[in-house]
Amino acid sequence: MASVLATLLSATLLGLDGRVIRVEVDVAPGLPGLTIVGLADAALREARERVRGAIRNAGFIYPPRRISVNLAPADLPKGGTSADLALAVGILLGSEQFRPRPGRVALIGELSMGGEVRPVPGTLPMVLALDRRGVRRVLVARPAAAEAALAGDVEAVPVDSLADAVDELRSRRRRDRTRRPERIDLSPGGAGAAVGGEARVVVGAEPVPDLEDVRGQAAARRALEVALAGGHGLLFLGPPGTGKTMLARTVPGLLPILVGEAALAATIVAWVGAVEPLQALVERPPFRAPHHTSSYAAMVGGGPRLSPGEITRADHGVLFLDELAEFSRDVLEALRQPLEEGRVEIARAGRAASFPARFQLVAAMNPCPCGMAGADDGRCTCREGVPERYVARISGPLRDRIDLWVPMTRVAAREFLADTLPESSAVVAARIAAARSLQLSRPPHRLNASVGGRPMRLLARLGPAAQARLRTLADAERLSGRGTDRLLRVARTIADLGGAAAVDEAHLDEAARFRAPAARPIDALAAAMAGR
Ligand SMILES: [Zn+2]
C-alpha cells in the first residue's frame, strides 16, 4: 500500500483570536508510530494517546503504520486539544477506513480515550476564523454547538463521538441542525435585566443607579452624556461626597446594546476562562470597575497562563477607575498603549500574547490626598505642592487621552430640594444612542473618539466662523495639533447630540470647557470649582 495524505481543517486559539490550522496526516508503510511536527504544545503532543484510544474504542483500527502529522501554517504556535478530532479523522482517512463525501468541512473537538468528542474553550472565535476562510460547515462537540452557531452563517453540526463524526462525514442524511440561539443577555448579572424600558439594570449584585436619582451636578451629567455619546475618556475630579462614583455607576444604564461584530467580541471576552460552552450572545456592553489595589496582571493581563486582564474584559465597554491617582504607576502607564491602539501586548517568560482592549475610560479621583483641595471652605490639610503632585500622577500620555475633565463640588441643599425631577437614564440613553448611530452611519463608521486625525477635520465641517474660533481656542490654550484634533472630536460629538450637521462655535466652546486644566492644575481646578 502506498502512502495516503489526508488534509483537514481545524482551528486553534491564539490569545482570544481563533486561527485556522491545516492538519495534514500522512499514513505510509514503515515502522509504526506517530510524529507531529509544526509547533505543537504539550497538550497537542499528548493527543497521540487520546487519538489512539478513541480510534480503537470507536470500533476502527489504529493503523500499524508510519503516521506523520504536519500542522500548518508552520510558524503558528498550536496549543490545546481542539485538533484531536481532525487528527483522528485524518488517520482514518489516511488508512482508507471510510470514504468522505465531498465538501469543505472543519472539525473542532477534543477526544476522550473512549472516543467521545468534548467541547473546547474558545469554540466561537475558532468558528469565526473558519467562517472568514469561507468554511460553511463545522463539526463540533454537541455541548459547543450553540456556541458555534453564534458565529452566524456557519452550519454547526453537533457530534457526540468519533464514530458519530465519521458517520456525519460519510452519510448523506441530514441531521438536526443547531439553530442560532435567541439573542438573550447572559452578561454577568445581566440575565433578565430589561434593555431600556422601565426595569432597572443590574450589574453583578449591585443595582445600577438611575440618573433620576442623581441630584444637581448638571455640568457633570452633561459631560457624562457627551463622553458616552462619542466614546471619549472622562475624569470626574472632586472631594468625597460629590457623587462622582454614583454618577459613574449609572453608565451601564446609559449605553446602547451591542450588535454584530461588537456583540461577538464582547461575548468572547465575557467568557474568557469559562469552562462551560456559551449559549447566547452578550449584548450588554461590559462595565468593569476594578479596585485601585488591583495588581498589574489583574488589570493589564499576564500571570502564568497569560490571561487577559480588566482592560480586555472591558473591551467594547467602559473601564471605570475610581480613585484613579491611587492606581499604581505601572498600571496607569500601561493604559497608554490600549487607549491608543485598542490592544494590549503582554509578555511573560518568553511567551507573548495580544488581547483586544477597546475600552472607554471613565475615571474619578479626589483633587488631593485629603480630598479637600479646591473646596471653597479651605479645609485641605495637604502641604503646599502636594495637591499639584497628586493630580500630576495623571501624567502626559494618560492626561492627553482624557478629553473631558469635570470638576465637581458638593451639591447645594436647594438642589436636593428642587421639585423638578432630573432626567432619567432612559431619556439620556436615547440621546446617546441617537448620537452614536449618527457617527456609525457616516464614514469611517466609528465613534468620534476612535476616528483618525485627518478625517476628523473633514467630519467637523467647520464653517469660516467656526474655523476662526478653533484658531483662537488653539492659541489661547496653546493646543498641539493632537490637542486640537481631540478638541474637535468632542465638539463633533456635541454637534451630533444636537443633531447638527456642522460643528459651530458653541460646540467648540463647550468642548474647550471640558479640557484638562492647563499648567497649574489645582489653581485652575479651584477656579473651576468656584464657578469658573
Ligand atoms: Zn488636601
- Whether 156 and 32 map to the same domain: the answer is yes
Instruction: Say how many Å lie between the CA of residue 68 and the centre of ligand 1.
Output: 70
Q: Please state the three-class secondary structure of 255-323 as a single string.
A: CCCCCHHHHHHHHHHHCCCCCCCCCCCCCCCCEECCCCCCCHHHHHEECCCCEECHHHHCCCCEEEEEC
Instruction: Say how many Å lie between the CA of residue 373 and the centre of ligand 1.
Output: 5
Residue 315: inside a domain: yes
Please provide residue 201's backbone torsions phi and psi, each rounded to the nearest 5 degrees: -80, 140
Instruction: Say how many Å lie between the CA of residue 239 and the centre of ligand 1.
Output: 9
Instruction: Say how many Å lie between the CA of residue 395 and the centre of ligand 1.
Output: 19
Instruction: Say how many Å lie between the CA of residue 237 and the centre of ligand 1.
Output: 13
Instruction: Say how many Å lie between the CA of residue 320 and the centre of ligand 1.
Output: 23
Q: What CATH number did the domain enclosing 78 receive? A: 3.30.230.10
- Whether 225 and 305 map to the same domain: the answer is no
Residue 9: inside a domain: yes
Q: What is the mean pLDDT of each run of 10 residues along the chain (532 residues)?
A: 87 90 94 86 82 95 94 84 95 92 91 95 94 94 93 92 94 50 36 34 66 90 98 94 94 94 88 75 92 95 87 95 94 91 87 90 94 75 87 84 89 69 94 96 90 71 93 88 90 97 96 76 59 46
- Whether 82 and 222 map to the same domain: the answer is no
- Whether 272 and 252 map to the same domain: the answer is yes
Instruction: Say how many Å lie between the CA of residue 363 and the centre of ligand 1.
Output: 19
Q: Give counts: helices (H), strands (E), the chain.
A: 22, 20
DSSP state of 378: -
Instruction: Say how many Å lie between the CA of residue 413 and the centre of ligand 1.
Output: 24
Instruction: Say how many Å lie between the CA of residue 23 and the centre of ligand 1.
Output: 64
Helices 425-441, 481-497: axis angle to 10 degrees equals 120
User: Which of 330, 365, 400 is where one domain is finished?
Assistant: 365
Residue 384: inside a domain: no
What local confidence, expressed as pLDDT, does residue 14 receive? 85
Local structure of 20: helix, strand or coil = strand
Residue 111: inside a domain: yes
- Whether 339 and 446 map to the same domain: the answer is no
Residues 444, 301: Cα–Cα separation, whole Å:
30
pLDDT digits (tens, 9 = 90+) for 462-511: 999 999 999 999 998 888 888 899 999 999 999 999 999 999 999 999 99
Instruction: Say how many Å lie between the CA of residue 372 and the centre of ligand 1.
Output: 5
pLDDT digits (tens, 9 = 90+) for 248-267: 999 999 999 998 888 999 88
Instruction: Say how many Å lie between the CA of residue 383 and the centre of ligand 1.
Output: 8
Residue 90: inside a domain: yes
Containing 230, the helix (H) or strand (E) segment is helix 218-230
Taking the model in full, what pTM does it have? 0.83
Please count the other Cβ atoms lying within 10 Å of the Cβ belonging to residue 101. 10
Instruction: Say how many Å lie between the CA of residue 323 and the centre of ligand 1.
Output: 14
User: Which of 311, 338, 365 is where one domain is finished?
Assistant: 365
- Whether 223 and 267 map to the same domain: the answer is no
Question: For 506, how many CA atoms within 13 A lie in the half-sphere containing its CB?
Answer: 7
Residues 298, 98: Cα–Cα separation, whole Å:
49
What local confidence, expressed as pLDDT, does residue 184 receive? 34
Instruction: Say how many Å lie between the CA of residue 319 and the centre of ligand 1.
Output: 26
Q: What CATH number did the domain enclosing 276 receive? A: 3.40.50.300
Instruction: Say how many Å lie between the CA of residue 243 and the centre of ligand 1.
Output: 18
Instruction: Say how many Å lie between the CA of residue 369 and the centre of ligand 1.
Output: 5
Instruction: Say how many Å lie between the CA of residue 380 and the centre of ligand 1.
Output: 4
What local confidence, expressed as pLDDT, does residue 185 receive? 34
Which among 131, 24, 8, 15 is positioned nearest to 74, based on CA atoms? 24
What local confidence, expressed as pLDDT, does residue 3 receive? 85
Instruction: Say how many Å lie between the CA of residue 367 and the centre of ligand 1.
Output: 7
- Region of 378 please: left (phi>0), alpha (psi -120 to 50) or beta: left
Instruction: Say how many Å lie between the CA of residue 455 and the centre of ligand 1.
Output: 42
The length of the chain in residues reads: 532
Torsion from C-alpha of 347, 353, 356, 362, nearest 10 degrees: -20
Distance between terminal CA atoms of the chain?
89
Instruction: Say how many Å lie between the CA of residue 390 and the centre of ligand 1.
Output: 9
- Whether 338 and 445 map to the same domain: the answer is no
- Whether 164 and 208 map to the same domain: the answer is no
Local structure of 229: helix, strand or coil = helix
Residues 6 or more apart in contact with residue 106 via CB below 8 angstroms: 8, 9, 10, 11, 20, 86, 130, 135, 137, 138, 139
- Whether 453 and 423 map to the same domain: the answer is yes
C-beta of residue 384 within 8 angstroms of C-beta of residue 214? no
Residues 27, 10: Cα–Cα separation, whole Å:
19
Taking every pair of Cα atoms in the chain, the longest distance, rounded to a whole number of angstroms, is 94
Structural domains of the chain, count: 3
Residue 323: inside a domain: yes
What local confidence, expressed as pLDDT, does residue 519 receive? 44
Instruction: Say how many Å lie between the CA of residue 266 and the centre of ligand 1.
Output: 40
Residues 218, 510: Cα–Cα separation, whole Å:
14
Residues 356, 520: Cα–Cα separation, whole Å:
35
Residue 388: inside a domain: no
Pair type for strands 402-407 and 233-237 = parallel
Estimate the share of the chain in helix, then strand, then coil, as percent rounded to the nearest 5: 40, 20, 45
Grid cell in block for residue 320: 471605570
C-beta of residue 51 within 8 angstroms of C-beta of residue 111? yes
- Whether 349 and 463 map to the same domain: the answer is no
Residue 397: inside a domain: no
Cα distances from 392 to residues 163, 486, 521, 522, in angstroms, run: 65, 20, 8, 10
- Domain span at residue 14 reads 4-170
Instruction: Say how many Å lie between the CA of residue 291 and the centre of ligand 1.
Output: 22
- Whether 355 and 430 map to the same domain: the answer is no
- Whether 343 and 485 map to the same domain: the answer is no
Cα distances from 334 to residues 89, 237, 350, in angstroms, run: 45, 21, 19
What local confidence, expressed as pLDDT, does residue 202 receive? 44
Instruction: Say how many Å lie between the CA of residue 381 and the centre of ligand 1.
Output: 5
Instruction: Say how many Å lie between the CA of residue 379 and the centre of ligand 1.
Output: 8
Instruction: Say how many Å lie between the CA of residue 12 and the centre of ligand 1.
Output: 53
